[in-house]
């Protein structure tokens, strides 16, 4: 029976999922239900084979997982490593994947000391190069906030457990070249091709051409990537299975037209396709398509009569047998999910008569089948992606991709670009600007937050019934209703949740506190954190600097389903408290910004106010005695009492009654400000946000005695250069028997409550 191999692929996935350490219960349950359904449907002889395959893949994955650890303990210092091709020079930073003398993969990071050294290493540091040096091993950073990116886990999934930093300079005298392998030569050709595109192609086209031809997205503009993600067309800025099929089909047709037999053409493609996979970076979608096409070619040569479903099933089994940890790769998940859905839906698509109808159906199926994955990984879906894909997919597939390939080949042969490229680059720039404008539309995306296990299971079930209902009722609209209903229920549950939280977000050396009231009655953000940019020479500037707002706060808020902040409270003008506000304001709808009186004279506050004015956000000054109530929740500013801004001691101090507790948020208030506060107010609070990150200039014994908190929270960066929190402050808190939470030790600190009761949770125990 044709298509049987897909059943084996499902059972191989089931076996591997149960053996992997981070598998979700909802995914396991959903796969279990599918497998049980197939067991009752299929003949007993097939069932026995399926169970055997499932057990085999379980054992294979379990054995692979048991060897998933490092050979090193972290104290090693003398190293001999071989450099791989995937190395990047970004500003004054070199990042490279290397293999140690013991065969373990490491990530090398090295700070370049001069532009001359950078230029020299760019020329000489090419694979296959072996270098010896003294270096120290560092543990990769792990996530410090709920739902945040975990770099340590990401590297571990690629069998990388340590970051190695050379001590001193990398001396080329201590390096030597080895004989390059065939793979080394291919990877060198790829690197040279990327460089040629970046040097010769027009500015508007070069980054996209590098992505389409060689699978290198690192050169793409960040704003363009964001816009394409919002439009649901980010997959176009990568070499996809569609590109592989188009190129393979065109090359096969060309060979036939040149008089080559079909059989010989198939053998030529079987040889060239793996080379193409290497030249385009070997991403999971490309590997999937190359394997799938290769299996179909082999089947035609051997008269096996395989279907596309057989080919995709065989390719999947081969991929996860090679490396089961690729199952964590979002690219692989989306590639197989969408491809299988399209293949299973081919009878539905073939019923449609018009080309436009078929294109719409293909886009709808692709979007619907990917919803669970998109919401789990990115917390949002594009609601204009159907229209965007209908326009951009043909544009990229049949115009941009062929033109980029033709231009590159013309450049290699003739030494220059064909004349039409300059004209087209202007048009392409306008189209990209149009994409960015569409991505910035307020209704472009729906943010749902990260679905919990229950809703993830519902979404997977809704996708399954989407195809069932379409098959039964022959209607795309009726089939889409269940998916839409689950989405609406999910959004309603977010709005109607009776639970609230007060979260001290770990933003490094800085403050950011998020207060979410039950039933979505209020979302308040006190400060945003921010990294003060240092003056650098041009050659030291990175293409993408770390950003607290973009990399921590916005993803965190999206993961919680938050698209609107009722009040953004900026306690004072220090960069580590308000620097990321300029990144939050464009990304999240903010109703009101409250600043401390007089702070608008600071340069960073001027930028924030200017941006708020452009976004038509109300900006007000908070002062002693002002406040607001939302139901049973009360908020009151206790300081400052005048409009003369003096820095830390004029921080906005907020007193709140939330979740059955009294809270005191002090910004960077120091001892002088604390003394004034004690004189003017009869202060008592259950929870104290310790002022100025635990500096010795804050938190006096008299202040602690007056406030008498049960719990203190200190927001400070790990091993920060200021030595915060000061040991004297910690000693005072311990003497008062006050429980202390610290973001530098505990990561994110969250108080989750229901009515008047709640519990504290930390990201790290």
Tens of pLDDT, residues 178-211? 999 999 899 889 989 999 999 999 988 998 899 9
pLDDT of residue 752 exceeding 50, the answer is yes
pLDDT of residue 425 exceeding 60, the answer is yes
Both tokens assigned to 132: 């010896």
pLDDT of residue 2: 61
CATH superfamily of 499-534+547-762: Ribonuclease Z/Hydroxyacylglutathione hydrolase-like (3.60.15.10)
More confident residue, 425 or 375: 375
Work out the angle between the directed axes of helices 453-473 and 25-41 (0-180°, nearest 10): 40
More confident residue, 227 or 155: 155
More confident residue, 406 or 751: 751
**Integer angstrom CA distances of residue 110 from 79, 91, 100, 126, 139:** 14, 11, 16, 15, 15
pLDDT of residue 498: 97
The H helix count followed by the E strand count for the chain is: 29, 23
Question: 285: pLDDT confidence band, cut at 50, 70 and 90?
Answer: confident
pLDDT of residue 250 exceeding 80, the answer is yes
Q: What is the mean pLDDT of residues 357-374?
A: 92
pLDDT of residue 562 exceeding 70, the answer is yes
pLDDT of residue 630: 95
Q: How far apart are CA 205 and CA 215, in angstroms?
A: 14
> Which percentage of the chain shows pLDDT scores above 90?
71
DSSP secondary structure of 511-531? --EEEE-GGG--EEEE----P
User: 443-472: per-residue pLDDT in tens?
Assistant: 889 999 999 999 999 999 999 999 999 988
User: 493-541: per-residue pLDDT in tens?
Assistant: 999 999 999 999 999 999 999 999 999 999 999 999 998 877 888 898 8
Domain boundaries, the chain: 4-66, 78-179, 239-344, 499-534+547-762
- CATH number (3.30.1490, 2.60.40, 2.40.50, 2.60.120) of 78-179 reads 2.40.50
pLDDT of residue 320 exceeding 90, the answer is yes
User: 96-113: per-residue pLDDT in tens?
Assistant: 999 999 999 999 999 999
Q: What is the mean pLDDT of residues 250-270?
A: 92
Q: Which of these ranges, 372-376, 483-487, 503-507, 537-541, has the smallest mean pLDDT?
A: 537-541
Q: What is the mean pLDDT of the chain?
A: 92
Residues in the chain: 765
- Contact criterion met (CB below 8 Å) for 668 and 722: no
pLDDT of residue 218: 81
Q: How far apart are CA 733 and CA 739, in angstroms?
A: 8
Helix (H, G, I), strand (E, B) or coil at 152: helix
Q: What is the mean pLDDT of residues 139-168?
A: 95
- The sheet carrying 749-754 orders its strands as 618-621, 589-595, 564-570, 523-526, 513-516, 499-504, 749-754, 757-762
pLDDT of residue 1: 47
pLDDT of residue 3: 61
pLDDT of residue 29 exceeding 60, the answer is yes
DSSP secondary structure of 609-620? HHHHHHTT-EEE
Residues 6 or more apart in contact with residue 123 via CB below 8 angstroms: none
Q: What is the mean pLDDT of residues 703-711?
A: 96
Q: What is the mean pLDDT of residues 61-77?
A: 93
Q: Give the residues across from 598 on adjacent strands.
A: none
Q: Do domains 78-179 and 499-534+547-762 have the same CATH topology?
A: no
């Amino acid at each position: 029976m044709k298509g049987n191999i897909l059943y084996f692929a499902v059972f191989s996935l089931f076996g591997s999922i149960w053996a992997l350490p981070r598998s979700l219960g909802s995914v396991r349950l959903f796969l279990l239900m599918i497998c049980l359904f197939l067991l009752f449907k299929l003949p007993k002889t097939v069932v026995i084979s399926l169970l055997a395959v499932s057990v085999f893949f379980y054992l294979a994955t379990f054995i692979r997982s048991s060897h998933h650890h490092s050979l090193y303990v972290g104290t090693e210092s003398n190293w001999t490593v071989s450099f791989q091709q995937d190395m990047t020079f970004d500003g004054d930073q070199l990042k490279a994947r290397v293999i140690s003398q013991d065969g373990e993969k490491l990530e090398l990071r090295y700070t370049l000391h001069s532009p001359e050294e950078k230029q020299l290493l760019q020329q000489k540091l090419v694979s296959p190069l072996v270098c010896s040096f003294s270096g120290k091993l560092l543990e990769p950073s792990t996530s410090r906030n709920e739902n945040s990116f975990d770099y340590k886990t990401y590297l571990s999934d690629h069998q990388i457990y340590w970051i190695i930093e050379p001590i001193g300079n990398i001396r080329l005298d201590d390096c030597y070249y080895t004989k390059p392998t065939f793979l080394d030569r291919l990877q060198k050709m790829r690197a040279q091709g990327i460089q040629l595109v970046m040097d010769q192609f027009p500015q508007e086209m070069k980054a996209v051409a590098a992505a389409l031809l060689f699978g290198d997205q690192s050169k793409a503009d960040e704003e363009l990537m964001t816009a394409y993600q919002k439009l649901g067309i980010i997959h176009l800025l990568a070499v996809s299975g569609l590109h592989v099929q188009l190129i393979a089909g065109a090359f096969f047709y060309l060979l036939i037209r040149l008089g080559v037999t079909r059989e010989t053409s198939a053998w030529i493609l079987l040889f060239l396709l793996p080379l193409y996979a290497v030249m385009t970076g070997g991403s999971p979608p490309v590997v999937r398509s190359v394997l799938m096409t290769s299996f179909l070619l082999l089947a035609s040569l051997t008269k096996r009569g395989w279907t596309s479903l057989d080919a995709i099933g065989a390719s999947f089994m081969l991929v996860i047998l090679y490396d089961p940890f690729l199952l964590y790769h979002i690219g692989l998940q989306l590639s197989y999910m969408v491809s299988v859905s399209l293949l299973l839906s081919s009878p539905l698509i073939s019923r449609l008569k018009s080309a436009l109808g078929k294109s719409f159906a293909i886009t709808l199926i692709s979007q619907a089948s990917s919803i669970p994955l998109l919401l789990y990984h990115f917390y949002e879906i594009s609601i204009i992606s159907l229209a965007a894909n209908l326009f951009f997919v043909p544009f990229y597939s049949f115009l941009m991709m062929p033109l980029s390939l033709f231009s590159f080949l013309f450049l290699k042969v003739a030494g220059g670009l064909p004349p039409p490229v300059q004209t087209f680059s202007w048009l392409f720039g306008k189209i990209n600007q149009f994409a960015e404008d569409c991505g910035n539309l307020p209704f472009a995306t729906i943010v749902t937050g990260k679905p919990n296990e229950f809703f993830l299971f519902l979404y997977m079930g809704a996708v399954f019934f989407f195809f069932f209902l379409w098959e039964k009722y022959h209607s795309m609209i009726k089939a889409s209703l269940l998916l839409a209903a689950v989405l609406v229920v999910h959004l309603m549950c977010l709005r109607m949740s009776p639970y609230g939280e007060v979260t001290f977000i770990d933003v490094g050396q800085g403050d950011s506190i998020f207060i979410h009231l039950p039933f979505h009655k209020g979302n308040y953000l006190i400060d945003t954190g921010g990294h003060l940019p240092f003056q650098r020479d041009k050659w030291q500037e990175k293409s993408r600097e770390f950003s607290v707002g973009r990399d921590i706060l916005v993803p965190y808020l999206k993961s919680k389903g938050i698209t609107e902040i009722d009040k953004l409270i900026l306690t004072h003008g220090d960069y580590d408290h308000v620097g990321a506000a300029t990144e939050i304001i464009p990304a999240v709808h903010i109703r009101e910004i409250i600043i401390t009186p007089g702070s608008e004279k600071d340069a960073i506050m001027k930028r924030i106010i200017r941006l708020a004015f452009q976004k038509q956000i109300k900006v007000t000054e908070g002062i002693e005695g002002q406040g607001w109530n939302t139901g049973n929740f009360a908020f009151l500013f206790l300081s400052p009492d005048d409009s003369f801004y003096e820095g830390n001691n004029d921080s906005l101090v907020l007193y709140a009654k939330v979740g059955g507790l009294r809270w005191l948020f002090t910004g960077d208030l120091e001892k002088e400000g604390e003394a004034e506060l004690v004189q003017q107010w009869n202060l008592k609070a259950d929870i104290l946000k310790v002022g100025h990150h635990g500096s010795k200039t804050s938190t006096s014994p008299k202040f602690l005695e007056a406030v008498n908190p049960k719990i203190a929270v200190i927001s400070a960066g790990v091993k920060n250069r200021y030595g915060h929190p000061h040991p004297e402050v910690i000693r005072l808190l311990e003497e008062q028997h006050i429980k202390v939470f610290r973001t530098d030790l505990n990561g994110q600190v969250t108080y989750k409550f229901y009515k008047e009761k709640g519990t504290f949770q930390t990201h790290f125990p």
